[in-house]
Structure 1
Amino acid sequence: MHRGPLRPGEWVRLTDQKGRRHNFELVPGKRFFSSRGHIEHDDLIGREEGFSIGSSAGGEYLVLRPLLSEFVVSMPRGAAVVYPKDAAQIVAMADIYPGARVVEAGVGSGALTCSLLRAVGPLGRVRSFERREEFADVARRNVRQFFGVAEDGPDHPAWSLTIGDLAEELPRSEEPADRVILDMLAPWECVDAVADALTPGGIVCVYVATTTQLSRIVETLRVHGGFTEPQAWESLVRDWHVEGLAVRPGHKMIGHTAFLVTARRMAPGERAPRKKRRPAPGAYGPDYTGPRPDDVPTDPAE
């Protein structure tokens, strides 16, 4: 991460008096334009962040480097980004720790990759897999931009990026994984490969957008037998307006973005205890087409 005075090539975040935010890359000789006139990039370069500056038409802006949570929602995108609220849940609930060996698929636009690299630290390792080369190129540029690596320089030292299908590429690696994060359309297709790669007690965390994906991955993990009972949830974030006695919920909130599912790997040859509670009537009715636990009757009336 950048420290010290602002330098060419860095991103900065300008916030005006109404709270409107503008993110852009510092380029010598360029100008930032808004409805309140312009600001010369050269007037920002070389100064310590955390200052106010006026524009040519009387606007006033606060200048800071963007936080990671601010950078990922404004950075160039190939695929949709993992929102900061979900990235924070993944880092916490998947217990990403310094020195961890983490596998990530797919890489999307690199938003979650930045959070994972921060969490594992210099002694950890993040191996990312992405099927689409154009997404991988965008992610590589974004990760380099955030960590201050030159565009033509080497990748982050704790990071490797592989173009290919996780289910095919991961078994070729002999390096075990402590954590596996899946952000893909059909994560259930990778459960066997993930089970083989994860260390006993390791965690798989799956990020899916729809209820049908949620059902399929949870049931696949259950039927596999080599994982603990999957836990599924979503998080919603609402800000608050606080001014004097006017304290109320904000008019905007970040609602559903995705579901998260976690499960832990059992030791080889071991199976988790079966659930004692029987499924609700109709849970595995005639319209259900996904994986079915062995002890669930075909006819819910049985």
Structure 2
Amino acid sequence: MRTEPFPDLDCPTVTEPASEHSPQSAQAPTGATLRRGPFREGDRVQLTDPRGRMHTISLEAGKQFHTHRGHIRHDDLIGAPDGTVVTHSSGSDYLALRPLLSDYVLSMPRGAQVVYPKDAGQIVTMADIFPGARVVEAGVGSGALSLSLLRAVGDGGRLYSFERREDFAAIAQANGRVFFGADHPAWQVTVGDLVESLPATVEAGSIDRVVLDMLAPWDCLEVVYDALTPGGVLICYVATATQLSRVAEATRDHGGYTEPQAWESMVRGWHLEGLAVRPEHRMHGHTGFLLTVRRLAPDTEAPARKRRPASGAYGADYTPHEDEWTPEDVGERTRTDKRIRRVRRDVDRQAQSAPRDASAE
């Protein structure tokens, strides 16, 4: 069968991918050069001992990593390829690898609880965070989710992050600087309340995706609706079932969003040893609920639900919480100001000693 090209379509020119030594390689995305090549001074390296225990160090010439049985010289790792096995002074072999993003966010300095990698992956996929997307995030916390969002939008996208606490915002930015080797060009962090700051930061109808990781996302539905483009996605990350119920009902009452969808994810590892293949005794259980809705077109009403609510769902006992919520209300652990100041000093010190991404300068 003979096929004809479509005369009204512009056929893109196919080009060969740039090699590692071509001029185009100088335009590598922010942080890419730090993820490959031999270990350099300042790199974070994850050492795994024969029993599977992991230790993360930052390489410094002349320094040593000590355990109760001896030490490993940093100089033995500087210049070595990723995936090197280095011998401890006791004779044990340690595997040296660059930490993955999932490893980094669980070991980086933190001022607030982090979004776990299993939830960050769900957010990036289920919210359809694409390269070049314009994304709004609130709040930032320690920046764990921000790193995944920046990876997804790329240098050509835009991530507008809002955080009420200046110290949390500073810690998040420093963590990003350590991981990417530079200030990411797509990241803009604003210290302030989302409801007050968002209209002055972005144009109405210009945002593709919004991610809310906060105590009371229902307070932001109107300002988020104005910022989102029609069809844009709002995804909320909440800790408790009471928060999940309230944000779901608030999106329905608003009328400008599609029917909410909610779920949680649980990850269970498996023990692999010959024929002894079984689930591990520990697992990452409940960390939070995710809820997604999409913004409807202007002057469009949400389609009426065809299924009837469960009997008693909106009975006399249904009394939504109307007061301001606090972290203690949902069981979150709070950190003292003294601990936050210490974390901020630690992450600033790491950011100053971390290797720089030459392609971002």
TM-score between both structures, scaled by the size of structure 1: 0.92
CA contact (8 A) 1:219 1:290 kept: no
Task: Give the CA deviation at 1:27.
Answer: 2.4
> Among 177, 185, 201, which residue is 2:207 paired with?
177
Aligned positions of 1:130-279 closer than 5 A: 130-149=163-182, 155-175=183-203, 176-279=206-309
Task: Give the CA deviation at 1:198.
Answer: 0.4
Q: Distance in 1 between matches of 2:281 and 2:287?
A: 18
1:280 aligned residue: 310
Task: Give the CA deviation at 1:9.
Answer: 2.1
SS in structure 1 opposite 2:121?
Answer: helix
1:45 aligns with 2:83: no
Q: Distance in 2 between matches of 1:83 and 1:208?
A: 13
Task: Give the CA deviation at 1:123.
Answer: 1.2
Aligned positions of 1:50-129 closer than 5 A: 50-129=83-162
1:33 aligned residue: 66
Counterpart of 1:200 in structure 2: which amino acid? Answer: P
Structure 2 unaligned segments of length 5 or more: list them.
Answer: 1-30, 322-361
Task: Give the CA deviation at 1:131.
Answer: 0.4
Task: Give the CA deviation at 1:246.
Answer: 1.5
Counterpart of 1:218 in structure 2: which amino acid? Answer: A
Task: Give the CA deviation at 1:30.
Answer: 2.4
SS in structure 2 opposite 1:39?
Answer: strand
Structure 1 unaligned segments of length 5 or more: list them.
Answer: 150-154, 292-302
CA contact (8 A) 2:155 2:184 kept: no
Q: Distance in 2 between matches of 1:189 and 1:239?
A: 37
SS in structure 2 opposite 1:253?
Answer: coil
Q: Distance in 2 between matches of 1:286 and 1:34?
A: 61
SS in structure 1 opposite 2:171?
Answer: helix
1:6 aligned residue: 39
Task: Give the CA deviation at 1:262.
Answer: 0.4
Counterpart of 1:45 in structure 2: which amino acid? Answer: I
Q: Distance in 2 between matches of 1:178 and 1:30?
A: 47
Counterpart of 2:209 in structure 1: which amino acid? Answer: R
Counterpart of 2:269 in structure 1: which amino acid? Answer: D
2:17 aligned residue: none
CA contact (8 A) 1:37 1:59 kept: no
Report how many aligned residue pairs link the two structures. 286
CA contact (8 A) 1:10 1:148 kept: no
Q: Distance in 1 between matches of 2:202 and 2:150?
A: 21
Task: Give the CA deviation at 1:6.
Answer: 1.5
TM-score between both structures, scaled by the size of structure 2: 0.77
1:298 aligned residue: none
Bigger helix share: 2
Q: Distance in 1 between matches of 2:136 and 2:123?
A: 13
2:50 aligned residue: 17
Q: Distance in 1 between matches of 2:186 and 2:227?
A: 19
1:296 aligned residue: none
Q: Distance in 2 between matches of 1:207 and 1:174?
A: 22
SS in structure 2 opposite 1:237?
Answer: coil
CA contact (8 A) 2:82 2:97 kept: yes
Bigger strand share: 1
2:329 aligned residue: none
Looking at both structures, which has the greater relative contact order when contacts are Cα pairs under 8 Å and sequence separation is at least 6?
2
Superposition RMSD on alpha carbons, in Å?
1.3
Q: Distance in 2 between matches of 1:245 and 1:174?
A: 57
